[in-house]
Amino acid sequence: MDSLRGRRSAAAQSPASQDAPPGRAAATIAARLTFDNVERLYGSSGALRGFSLDIEPGEVVCLLGPSGSGKTTLLRIAAGIEKPSAGRVLINDYEVAGPTRFVAPEKRNVGLMFQDFALFPHLTILENVAFGLRSLPREDARREALAALARVGLERYAGDYPHILSGGEQQRVALARALVPRPAVMLMDEPFSGLDVQLRERMQEETLRLLRETRATCLIVTHAPAEAIRLGDRIAVMRAGKLVQAGKAEELYRNPADLFVARLFSEINEIPLRIVGGALRTPVGVFAVPGLDEGEEAILCIRRRSIRVLPAGQGLPGRVLHATFLGDLALLEIAAEGFDRPLLTLVREGEQPERGAEISISVDAESVLVFPADTSRNSDGELISASPEMA
């Protein structure tokens, strides 16, 4: 890092474009964001434990994990609100937090959007958006803030106060305020969690459009896998302060690193079985489990959507124990031959067999996942919740 001493972040040096077309966000020069073995300790407990991740300029990365996994702490460290206990944070390879340097938040060219939007109730909506432009002449700041409000469709509320706005409108004001300084890095802490489902999806689309237009590097914290899939170029999964796996959504779905990641991206049937004859021998196939010895336990994971329901006599025999209406789909609970516990699968509504019906099932063996039983526990030996609501 000695060769980097004195180098200014490209984000701090680069003027933003002044020539964005009307109705579009002005572009900035995106910056690389790097976490290098970052740790954060609170007393004897660690909120972050050796976290490393490199985010490309202009990339949108979603930080996914349950509550308490260290996501918000990582965001606060990137923004400069907190200092790491160890490790480094770099923007365009320039150290902004580490053992030898700490750059103040206002000098990082980083935008931060909080979960509760954090609008100032005593300021007008225009003054809220212009808050981060105090270094500009007043008229210039006003013009930039009005343009930002126009981009999110709220310029007519410029002289009003935040309390008159709906949740979605407040979210758009907070987004305009965060983007108007044209940050090279944008940090967002669960920005859609307080919105209802329909509004949330619309705001996700609008936010992603603005992020693409500004071309800012973006790190979005979420605990919802569907949101991460919708928004992220890549997804970084966290658990207990550590990075578990990072990659495109398709990679994490098809090749999850462990049972925890598999549960996030799929609704699965989990069947504990033991290694016999060097493999996991199941009614739907024989599967190798490297690293396990004879008699050790493994978890067979069958995705609900990989189970196909057939007429009796055309596959593995089974019987329908229960059917639950879910709108367009129905959830079937099936007692299948060779399995000690029922299997769950989904079929189209109106195509489900009656309760008690004798049927057959087939399973796509290529979609079956197998993990050692100990991957259902974290590094401290605690059982990891399946949390089906996250799937």
**Domains in the chain with CATH codes:** 2-254 (3.40.50.300), 266-385 (2.40.50.140)
Specify the pLDDT at position 28: 61
Q: What is the pTM of this model?
A: 0.83
Strands 358-363 and 285-287: unpaired
C-alpha 77/C-alpha 106 separation (Å) is 13
Six-digit token string for 365 = 């063996």
List, run by run, the mean pLDDT of 10-residue segments along the chain (391 residues): 35 34 51 96 87 96 94 95 96 94 93 84 93 87 90 90 89 88 92 81 86 90 94 96 96 95 94 91 88 90 94 95 93 95 93 93 91 63 41 33
Asked if residues 242 and 63 have their Cβ atoms less than 8 Å apart, the reply is: no
Provide DSSP, 258-275: SHHHHHHH--EEEEEEE-
SS3 state at 345: strand
C-alpha 147/C-alpha 235 separation (Å) is 32
Asked if residues 279 and 289 have their Cβ atoms less than 8 Å apart, the reply is: yes
C-alpha 38/C-alpha 83 separation (Å) is 10
SS3 state at 101: coil
Least Cα distance to 338 among 283, 375, 293 occurs for: 283
Burial class (CB in 10 A: 0-12, 13-18, 19+), 179: buried
Specify the pLDDT at position 14: 34
Least Cα distance to 60 among 196, 191, 202 occurs for: 191
The whole-angstrom distance between residue 32's C-alpha and the CA centroid of its chain comes to 19
